[in-house]
Homo-oligomer: A and B are copies of this chain.
Amino acid sequence: MALKTPYLMFLGDAPDQLAAKTAAGVVHWRPDICLGQLRLDGCNADLGIPDMTLEAAFEAGARTIIVGVANRGGVMGQTWIDVLVRALEFGFDISSGLHSKLGDVTAIAEAAAKHGRQLTDARHPTRGFDVANGKKRTGKRLLPVGTDCSVGKMYTALAMEREMQARGMRATFRATGQTGIFIAGDGVSVDAVVADFISGATEWLAPENEPDHWDLIEGQGSLFHASYAGVSLGLLHGAQADALVLCHEPTRTHMRGLPDYPLPGIGECIAANEAAARLTNPAASCIGIAVNTHNMPNGEAEAYLAALEDEHGLPAVDPVATGVGKLVDALP
Binary contact readout A273-292 vs B (1 if CB under 8 angstroms, 0 otherwise) = 00110011000000000000
Interface size on A, residues (CB 8 A): 37
Q: Which residues of B contact A227 (CB under 8 A)?
A: 131-134, 196, 199-200, 237
Contact B134 A195 (CB under 8 A): no
Distance in angstroms from A288 CB to nearest chain B CB is 24
Distance in angstroms from A74 CB to nearest chain B CB is 13
Interface residues of A in 108-133 (CB under 8 A from B): 131-133
Contact A195 B272 (CB under 8 A): no
Q: How far is the CA of A317 from the CA of B249 in the complex (A)?
A: 46
A199: contacting residue among B193, B198, B230, B280, CB under 8 A = B230
A134 and B260 in contact (CB under 8 A), knowing A195-B192, A196-B191, A196-B228?
Answer: yes
A258 and B133 in contact (CB under 8 A), knowing A194-B192, A279-B226?
Answer: yes
Q: How far is the CA of A237 from the CA of B237 in the complex (A)?
A: 18
Nearest B residue (CB) for A272: B275
Report the copy number of this chain in the oligomer.
2
Contact A226 B237 (CB under 8 A): yes
Q: Is A3 an interface residue (CB 8 A)?
A: no
Q: How far is the CA of A199 from the CA of B196 in the complex (A)?
A: 13
Contact B196 A231 (CB under 8 A): yes
A226: contacting residue among B190, B199, B229, B230, CB under 8 A = B199
Q: Is A233 an interface residue (CB 8 A)?
A: yes
Distance in angstroms from A25 CB to nearest chain B CB is 20
Q: Which residues of B contact A228 (CB under 8 A)?
A: 131, 196, 199
Interface centre among A195, A226, A261 (most CB of B within 10 A): A195
Q: Is A187 an interface residue (CB 8 A)?
A: no
Contact A231 B195 (CB under 8 A): yes
Binary contact readout A171-215 vs B (1 if CB under 8 angstroms, 0 otherwise) = 000000000000000000011111110111000000000000000
Can you give 20 A-B contacts (C-beta < 8 A)?
A131-B227, A134-B227, A134-B260, A191-B196, A192-B195, A194-B195, A195-B230, A196-B227, A198-B230, A198-B231, A199-B227, A199-B228, A200-B227, A223-B233, A224-B279, A229-B237, A229-B279, A230-B233, A230-B234, A261-B279
8 further interface pairs, Cβ-Cβ under 8 Å (given A132-B226, A133-B226, A134-B226): A134-B260, A134-B261, A192-B195, A195-B231, A195-B234, A226-B237, A229-B233, A229-B279
